Chains A and B, each alone.
Chain A
């Protein structure tokens, strides 16, 4: 048996993230005692109609979210308890809603910082309705082996360590959340553990006081003794003393009260919870409370530290008188265990998982990215440059200084080609239509293909094919004409032999000045000699030149378009920023730039 939170408790949680977290903790508890989750619903208007996902052992349970308490209880008539996790400014209305619902008998409020007046009104309203309003600022309620309301009891390991999987003989009532857990632990180590532990909250005027719960414990045969952890301020401890001393009680009462330090502190200095304050005339001091409790017959140790031995002595007395029987401890193998997550199991070497993807280039699990195992900062500090990073990430190798220089020149030469080319123009049109940077650049990027900038990979592929197969220029051209079509990397829209492409000249000149073998570039230049004779503009273009050079320095064919995409991104970002800076307006094509070749206006025939 237990009080307040029992095996018959069914819960609606009012609130958002904190409420979901509480539900997860409650699910852990239910898993420990091998019972189904007792949270039936959430009430949280912003997410009404959705569900919250609660892990319960190895299962994921979907708990519905409603707009109102009434909807929740109509759909889940078993609900009899509400936990309030609503912000202080809306907690009053939410709690009223729960108290006024006929299904709900108990409301426990975790919310802190609730105005005193609101708490008093809620307490009074609950008493009028014969219901229990626990809190505000309550850590929750836990009944060993039955039910947990809120996060009281802490992490799963602590629940097990405190033997909360089965009932003991001690009831606990505290104002402090942290100390409730401490007492639960002490009861499990110095005695046989708890029946129910209740946090009533540390506010000045909690909705329910010690006496209400002492009455309940008195009527719960499983509970043999109750531990109260009190504080200076208010008169709740005095009322408890009065109740205990009024007549012979079945339960034993143990109590400690904090706040003795107040006697030697500067006047008016106030510590601890909101409720922990002496009256203006010194009433409600720790000493007055302790005295009152002692007088009532309660066991009142002088310090918190002496509480453990006092609980132990009480338990031994109960054993001796036969009121409680020793409870054998569970064997270590029978202790409840939470299922492990995949991560935990892997860490402990218990499972093998087949990875979904494989990456051979980089690793960012540490404090900085590793490119092929080299920390980025060390590359920087050792004088490496962007082309080296490209080499590491595109070709899994550190390129030489000379190769890096070639890559750098390629990027610089192809970074931009003015506003008129397909890519830049598209980016500009998008920018003028108010499209964001990443989308506008992506729009320009889409233009890169067989006719614009996207011929690098294909050019590289076929030059490489020719060299690998030792084809002569003539054989190559025949092969291409028969099987492929125009040679990628040959030909230009405006440039020609007479009007050569300066970028090509520049790149070829530089590469030829180096002491390196350039079989692909040499072959491409030989091809140009033949094609340019046939037609003036069938020259080796910049795509073809880049491709031949990059294949010469060993880059894989599939990465080659990347050099154009990378370089041209610099230009496209420039065009987008340029239009933004100018505050450019929407572009619309002039009619005179369109040849309207469609039929003239005519009669629409009747629909047949």
Chain B
């Protein structure tokens, strides 16, 4: 899943014929000044200014300003750009044209196991949250086409009538075309508004695309945004850059405030390790995972990042019995990074717990065990120790 920010999300809707307000994504006040000199709508219309970053609750943070004239918009742009938040600096804002409207509706498309659900409601904006029963949907099976009759009965069922009903049916048809052709997983337009000119306009959009389909969308030139309401950290981005380059995978998500650092192998096992930490009342400092026999240097980079997490007490180097990930090789990368971290004065008072099996497990585990002689506080276990027992031991040790 790959989240797309509002600007490129709107761009995709436009590409498939859906009307959106005029908008511009700007990165500096100068750029905005220049734009305002050549764009009529910036001079004449009421404007909305929003921080264009992967951020939740922008309203609460004062990062959405509405009903502005150009002067006020310029001030808002100046104020927002460069603002430092806890986890990121605002580098982009999106300025869009306010659209006069009376009615707000809701429309969305989401991927399901059997195909796509197309959702629509006569209430939009924040109201839809408390009126979820008003949201009606039609399911389009994988590989089937969307029929006009299904569409018109959907909008009727949702309570649209007359001219608006046919407009909404047309809108949903375009939304589905966009969803299907752009390999989307979730597109939510909330609100869809009926403008003064009687046109349905998408005011805001949440767009999740299938990152795995990027190879067949040469026009996806925009970056994907983090999905958890904050921007990626520098360490996360560096690990992602490595991940994109190598065979297999390395993953990192930082969780501020935790003290149990995770360095397990495998997309499946890693979550069981996290579960075990949480079940024992521990606080995770991160999520990490390497799998698919990645090169040792990639695991080394990941390990370096994990070793530099602040305030950690334990590192859990867990893993199931690998099918084809070479334990000796990947552990080699981990050991290199451990040594480097220790030389830099990190890992003081940090206990390391290892459990693993798989190709060349004997050599890999022996190399880890040998770190004891170098002054590491490390405990090493083989396949005979159940998967998450090292977490129990770590939690008992504190």
Using a CB–CB cutoff of 8 Å, the interface residues on chain A facing chain B are: 21, 25, 88-89, 112-117, 120-121, 123-125, 139, 151-155, 158, 174-182, 185-186, 202, 204-205, 229, 231-232, 234-235, 256, 258-261, 263-274, 276-277, 280, 286, 302-305, 308
Q: Which residue of B lies closest to A124 (CB)?
A: B142
A115 CB contacts on chain B under 8 angstroms = 183, 210, 212-213, 216
Q: Which residue of A lies closest to B362 (CB)?
A: A157
CB distance from A508 to the nearest CB of B (A): 58
Q: Which residue of A lies closest to B112 (CB)?
A: A205
Given contact pairs A139-B323, A153-B323, A261-B271, a sample of 9 additional A-B residue pairs in the complex whose CB atoms are under 8 Å apart: A178-B267, A178-B268, A182-B321, A205-B111, A260-B278, A264-B278, A272-B267, A305-B386, A305-B392
- Say yes or no: A113-B212 contact (C-beta < 8 A), given A121-B143, A181-B323, A304-B387: yes
Q: Which residue of B lies closest to A116 (CB)?
A: B210
Q: Mark interface residues in B110-138 (1 if CB within 8 Å of A CB, else 0).
A: 01011100000000000000000000000
Mark out the residues of chain B between 293 and 322 whose CB falls within 8 Å of any chain A CB in the assembled complex. Answer: 319-322
Q: Are A271 and B268 in contact (CB under 8 A)?
A: no
Determine the distance from Cα of A449 to Cα of B255 in the docked complex, in whole angstroms. Answer: 75
The yes or no answer to B364 lying at the interface (CB within 8 A) is: no
* Number of A-B residue pairs having CB atoms within 8 Å of each other in the complex: 186
Return the contact of B324 from the options A120, A154, A259, A261 (Cβ within 8 A): A154
Return the contact of B212 from the options A88, A185, A234, A280 (Cβ within 8 A): A88
Q: Are B228 and A270 in contact (CB under 8 A)?
A: yes
Q: Which residue of A lies closest to B256 (CB)?
A: A266
A114 CB contacts on chain B under 8 angstroms = 212
Q: Which residue of B lies closest to A174 (CB)?
A: B268
Q: Are B268 and A272 in contact (CB under 8 A)?
A: yes
Q: Interface size for chain B: under 10, 10 to 19, 20 to 34, or 35 or more residues?
A: 35 or more
Q: Which residue of B lies closest to A286 (CB)?
A: B275
Mark out the residues of chain B between 363 and 398 whose CB falls within 8 Å of any chain A CB in the assembled complex. Answer: 383, 386-389, 392
What are the nearest 4 A-B pairs in CB distance?
Answer: A176-B268, A178-B266, A182-B320, A115-B213
Stretch in contact with the other chain, from B16-24, B88-96, B194-202, B284-292: B284-292
Q: What are 22 A-to-B residue pairs whose CB atoms are below 8 Å? A: A88-B212, A112-B292, A114-B212, A115-B216, A158-B321, A158-B357, A176-B267, A181-B323, A185-B321, A229-B268, A258-B268, A260-B275, A261-B271, A261-B277, A263-B278, A266-B228, A269-B253, A270-B1, A271-B253, A274-B212, A304-B388, A305-B392
Q: Are A89 and B387 in contact (CB under 8 A)?
A: no
Q: Which residue of A lies closest to B276 (CB)?
A: A303
Determine the distance from Cα of A462 to Cα of B179 in the docked complex, in whole angstroms. Answer: 90
Q: Are A269 and B255 in contact (CB under 8 A)?
A: yes
CB distance from B29 to the nearest CB of A (A): 31
Q: Which residue of B lies closest to A203 (CB)?
A: B212
Q: Which residue of B lies closest to A209 (CB)?
A: B113
Q: Which residue of B lies closest to A309 (CB)?
A: B386
The yes or no answer to B41 lying at the interface (CB within 8 A) is: no
Q: Are B383 and A185 in contact (CB under 8 A)?
A: yes
Return the contact of A272 from the options B141, B270, B320, B321 (Cβ within 8 A): B270
The yes or no answer to B11 lying at the interface (CB within 8 A) is: no
Mark out the residues of chain B between 258 and 272 whose CB falls within 8 Å of any chain A CB in the assembled complex. Answer: 265-272
The yes or no answer to B227 lying at the interface (CB within 8 A) is: yes
Q: Mark interface residues in B221-234 (1 if CB within 8 Å of A CB, else 0).
A: 00000011100000
The yes or no answer to B274 lying at the interface (CB within 8 A) is: yes
CB distance from B119 to the nearest CB of A (A): 11
Q: Mark interface residues in B99-112 (1 if CB within 8 Å of A CB, else 0).
A: 00000000000010
Q: Which residue of B lies closest to A229 (CB)?
A: B268
The yes or no answer to B185 lying at the interface (CB within 8 A) is: yes
CB distance from A550 to the nearest CB of B (A): 49
Determine the distance from Cα of A234 to Cα of B113 in the docked complex, in whole angstroms. Answer: 8
A280 CB contacts on chain B under 8 angstroms = 186
B216 CB contacts on chain A under 8 angstroms = 89, 115
- Max chain A Cβ within 10 angstroms of own Cβ: one of B115, B142, B389: B142
CB distance from A114 to the nearest CB of B (A): 6
CB distance from B285 to the nearest CB of A (A): 12
CB distance from B222 to the nearest CB of A (A): 18
